[in-house]
Amino acid sequence: MRPQVVAHRGASHDNAEHTLRAYVAALDDGADGLECDVRLTADGHLVCVHDRDLRRTASTRGLVSTMELADLDQLDFSSWKNPWNDLDDEAPVRDERLDKVLTLRTLLEVVADYDRRVEIAIETKHPTRYSGLVERRLVEQLRHLGWDRIGSPARVMSFSWTALQRVERLAPAVPLVMLLDSARHWPMLRRMIGPDWLVGPGVEVLTDHPRLGPRITRSGHDMHVWTVNTQTELELCLELGVKAVISDRPAYMLDLLEKREGA
């Protein structure tokens, strides 16, 4: 059975990450799932933004946590990816609504309304000034859609074991993914995480530490691996029996898998 292909921040290789444009492109590409990072604004909205500040993606020094949603909505979250687009006379007219800040609620509604099952992996970012409020707001939104039950298309990921514990207490049926960016953390985390938790190692960690993947597999935990963008990385994941690959290039991953199955 082939692994699930999950679009990392949308189809972010070709589109500005975390924009509705990137997620629509990923769905059009046939992605099985979408991945996003969430942060809480000053007025209590969860928005899909990776960095704590906006210098990289919106050309401002502002912090997400100190700004209100209305302020974020005035910013351009797309031009950094395609800085010369305005100078291209032959470029198609762009719908600016697809390039604005994206709220988690909007993304969840897109997933809920889509004409096939699409899963969504939501990463809560820590440390944050709002601590556990992020997880509480997230679970509230999942509960609103009935996605706090068994069979939910949503799962929650974090590098913070404490954050995942919060989600487990608030919504025990929601799948959890313990993210891992260092092989030396695994011996400790293996003893701490729940028996049904998934493990999300970075592909670079698996590449640099060849024995880590088999160790995780032997522990009985399925793996969802990020960020898988090359054929070599995909082949490693297939060798390890990974259940989901999270990629900036979902169309490319699906094409590689299709060709492999055809062969």
- Interior CA angle at 4 toward 38 and 11, to 5°? 50
How many domains in the chain? 1
CATH of residue 64's domain is: 3.20.20.190
Query: Tokens at residue 70, please?
Result: 């209305």
The tens place of each residue's pLDDT in the chain, 263 residues long, gives: 899 999 999 999 999 999 999 999 999 999 999 999 999 999 999 999 999 999 999 999 999 999 999 999 999 999 999 765 555 556 566 778 889 999 999 999 999 999 999 999 999 999 888 889 999 999 999 999 999 999 999 999 999 999 999 999 999 999 999 999 999 999 999 999 999 999 999 999 999 999 999 999 999 999 999 999 999 999 999 999 999 999 999 999 999 999 999 87
Do 209 and 186 form a contact (C-beta atoms < 8 A)? no
Reply yes or no on whether 45 is catalytic: no
Q: Is 126 known to be catalytic?
A: no
pLDDT score for 263: 78
Q: Report d(CA 119, CA 217) in Å as an integer.
A: 23
Residue 120 to residue 78: CA distance in whole angstroms = 22
**Peptide bond just before 127 cis, omega within 30 deg:** yes
Q: Domain range spanning residue 130?
A: 4-262
* pTM metric for this prediction: 0.95
Which of the following is catalytic: 13, 45, 50, 221?
50
Instruction: Tell me which residue has tokens 């054929």.
Output: 231
What is the C-alpha to C-alpha distance for residues 260 and 31, in angstroms, rounded to an integer? Answer: 17
